[in-house]
Amino acid sequence: MKTLLLFVATAFFEILGCYLPWLWLRKDGSAWLLLPAAAALAAFVRLLTLHPTASGRVYAAYGGVYVAVALLWLWRVDGVAPSRWDLLGAALCLGGMAVIMFAPRSP
């Protein structure tokens, strides 16, 4: 559960760090949005370093959680409800993340 929550927090900060510059560039937002965006991306990078396994495995598994969090963002922030296909895709990605992160490994 700790690993999943860490992935969710990591994805949130990555999405936030990319969303704020998008608001600035595409929606005529303030350039001041770049400061919290930079802080969010710094938090994203720091959170990636807290995962206790090899970086390649973490990045591969993180991708599955990112997909699910991005769809949640789509729904809650952009106001677009995910389709059943979106939800199925997210479930498959989360299943892949679970296999990558929680499979038994020999030392």
Q: Which residue range is the domain that position 26 belongs to?
A: 2-102
The count of structural domains within the chain is 1
Reported as a single tens digit per residue, the pLDDT across 32-42 is 999 999 999 99
Q: How many CB atoms lie within 10 A of CB 88?
A: 11
d(CA 106, CA 103): 10
Reported as a single tens digit per residue, the pLDDT across 73-98 is 999 999 999 999 999 999 999 999 99
d(CA 93, CA 38): 28
Percentage of the chain modeled with pLDDT above 90: 68
d(CA 60, CA 31): 33
Could you tell me if residue 107 is inside a domain? Answer: no
Could you tell me if residue 39 is inside a domain? Answer: yes
- Per-residue pLDDT at 54: 65
